[in-house]
Amino acid sequence: MDIAALIAWLVTALGGFYMLGTWIQRGGIRQQQSGASRLPAPVVFGHFALAAVGLVVWIVYVVADKGGLAWTAFGLLLPVALLGFVMLGRWLPVYRDRATAAATPGGAAAPVTEGAVPAERHFPLPVVLAHGLFAVVTLVLVLLVALGIGGS
């Protein structure tokens, strides 16, 4: 089950890398000053950094099979999940605005300049859903392994 958790974590990371790259490429960092992006850079990069450190700890756990490392990885996943839920909550209105604009005749309720469009508006819904789903699976698998259920 530890390898299954590793695979789920890696798949989750791929979706996260895609969204992080999209957010940066679309000006998410620059939009912090103007307030166009609803995702604060410290939350985005904190989520990324904690997840990356947790993944490294998990890889070391898989190699070394030390129970304390499994609990450390799980402990790192808890704030990662919290930050992920914060970002999801802040992203949902942006997604709804995009869906509303697409449903109106002409495709937009009002002219919008590209700089005013939040960078996170460009996140594809399937990527967001898959990232969240695999994150939950990862969290549950890591907890089960830390509890000694199905570990190596």
Proportion of the chain above pLDDT 90, given as a percent? 75
Cα atoms in the Cβ-side hemisphere of radius 13 Å centred on 138: 26
pTM: 0.85
| Alpha helical stretches, state H, 26-124 | 31-34, 41-64, 67-103
Query: For residue 145, which of 64, 51, 78, 71 has the smallest C-alpha distance?
Result: 71
The pLDDT value given to residue 111: 44
pLDDT exceeds 60 at position 115: no
What is the arithmetic mean of pLDDT over 108-130?
A: 77
DSSP state of 30: T
Burial of residue 149, with CB atoms counted within 10 A of its CB: 0-12 exposed, 13-18 middle, 19 or more buried: exposed
Q: What is the pLDDT of residues 84-99, one digit of tens each?
A: 999 999 999 999 887 6
